[in-house]
Amino acid sequence: MRIATWNVNSIRARSETVVAWMEHHDVDVLAMQETKCHDDAFPLMSFLVAGYDVTHVGQGAYNGVAIASRVGLDEIEVGFEGMPPLSVDGREIVEARAISARCAGVRVWSLYVPNGRAIDDPHYRYKLAWLEALADRSALWLAHDPAAQIMLAGDWNVAQRDTDVWDPGFFAGKPHVSDAERAAIAAFLDAGLTDSALPYADGYTFWDYTSLRFPRNEGMRIDYALCSPALDTRVLGATVDRDARKPKGASDHAPVIVDLAD
């Protein structure tokens, strides 16, 4: 089975490209992030015609996560228990950042981790709280069922190592590389999950649109899939499709593909 994750950066603008890419690469399941549309505006028909069912939760022009699958889409869950809301002017907003479904026996999560914005920004504290809540929930899932087949896939907005960014000095004092963020990801690994694509696909997954970042390969590795121990034993390999970032009008992220043994 082939599972991929891709921050598509507006699915309405890129649905035909995404579906064509899935067909070309023989992808069974795609976790999508930053769809940027409400549920009723999601271009569902493009996926259905190609043989993919879709589940989606969106918030208009920002956030939004989805899963497209041609191998089943069962036991759908929107959000996770304990997922913290974002506080804005005294209001608490539950953002569209997590959705999951069981696809051919694998519990696939599509995750769009908060950006953080700046170290001194409330959004940064929200990001850490969000990751902590998900790590705690993940540890409970594995404790309840050590044989569970789980993949947490998505845009994590954290570069785990200095080698995951083109210039560590450029990012000093900024989100994505701070000790607290890296410790938040380490909590998932301590719970037993594995960054399963890393041994096979060590390249960058994101290049900003500005300053010719992509032609200069000034990128970041912030998109990846964390797998439960049982699922990690099935991983045959992984790739980052850098070519998907090349065309004019492409998303600023490249998809990450993980191949699993049946």
Q: Is 224 a catalytic residue?
A: no
64: left (phi over 0), alpha (psi -120 to 50) or beta: left
Catalytic residue among 52, 112, 124, 126: 112
Distance CA 134, CA 132 (A): 5
Q: Is 190 a catalytic residue?
A: no
Report the SS3 class of residue 46: helix
Annotated binding site for Mg(2+): 7, 34, 155, 157, 252-253
Q: Is 25 a catalytic residue?
A: no
Annotated binding site: 7, 34, 155, 157, 252-253
Catalytic residue among 52, 56, 155, 232: 155
The structure tokens listed for 253 are: 């992220």
Which residues, other chains included, contact 171 with Cβ-Cβ below 8 Å and sequence gap of 6+? Answer: 159, 165, 177
Question: 39-57 burial string, b = 16+ CB within 10 Å, else e?
Answer: eeebbbebbeeeebbbbbb
Measured between alpha carbons, how far is residue 21 from residues 26, 133, 249 in Å? 8, 33, 15
Distance CA 125, CA 121 (A): 7
Sheet holding 150-155, edge to edge: 74-78, 98-103, 106-112, 150-155, 223-227, 194-195
Measured between alpha carbons, how far is residue 48 from residues 15, 31, 52, 198 in Å? 12, 16, 5, 32
Which residues, other chains included, contact 120 with Cβ-Cβ below 8 Å and sequence gap of 6+? Answer: none
Known catalytic residues are 112, 155, 253
